[in-house]
A = this chain, B = another copy of it.
Amino acid sequence: MFSKACKYAVKATIYIAVQSGQNTRTSLKDISAKIDSPEAFTAKVLQVLVKNQVIESLKGPLGGFFISNEAAKLITLSHVVYLIDGTETFNSCGLGLKECSECRPCPMHHKFQRIRSELKEMIEKTTIYELVLKVGEGESFLM
């Protein structure tokens, strides 16, 4: 469904936001330990998020990654997913037809489209902050 890179990105973003709530920057090392991901690979993914201003970073001692509560309330799952995996999974034909629409659908179109719209709506409406709260309250886990 989502690529590994994307799963790492989502979990990392959530974890960074949890830590940022305590106003502390989070190091790559800490992140990859807490979300159980390969450190160097996670670094690459986070660089994309930083470049696209989903999260912030600072080099040096006391450096690390950061995302404010305000930002976490504005950023949704879809922001991260679309950045890392692109939008094809959510917009192109489920069976790979070059053109697939109501007018000229693939045989799976109607059933598939309905479900995928729900998935799309879910990631577009779910904010990182919502997920942070669950982790913060110990209701949910990142590894």
- By a beta-carbon cutoff of 8 Å, the part of chain A in contact with chain B is 1-2, 4, 7-8, 10-11, 14, 36, 77, 89, 94-98, 104-109, 111-112, 115-116, 118-119, 122, 126, 131-132, 134-135, 139-143
Nearest Cβ distance between residue A37 and chain B, in whole angstroms?
9
Query: In the docked arrangement, what's the CA distance between A9 and B135, Å?
Result: 40
A14: B residues at CB distance < 8 A: 107
Query: In the docked arrangement, what's the CA distance between A132 and B107, Å?
Result: 8
Given A11-B95, A96-B7, CB of A111 within 8 Å of CB of B105: no
Asked if A95 and B10 make an inter-chain contact with CB atoms under 8 angstroms apart, the answer reads: yes
Oligomeric state, in copies: 2
Nearest Cβ distance between residue A91 and chain B, in whole angstroms?
11
A89: B residues at CB distance < 8 A: 1
Asked if A108 and B94 make an inter-chain contact with CB atoms under 8 angstroms apart, the answer reads: no
Given A115-B119, A122-B112, A122-B115, CB of A140 within 8 Å of CB of B107: yes
Asked if A95 and B7 make an inter-chain contact with CB atoms under 8 angstroms apart, the answer reads: yes
Asked if A94 and B1 make an inter-chain contact with CB atoms under 8 angstroms apart, the answer reads: yes
A11: B residues at CB distance < 8 A: 95-96
Question: Which of A14, A105, A141, A142 is most buried by chain B, counting CB atoms within 10 A of its CB?
Answer: A141
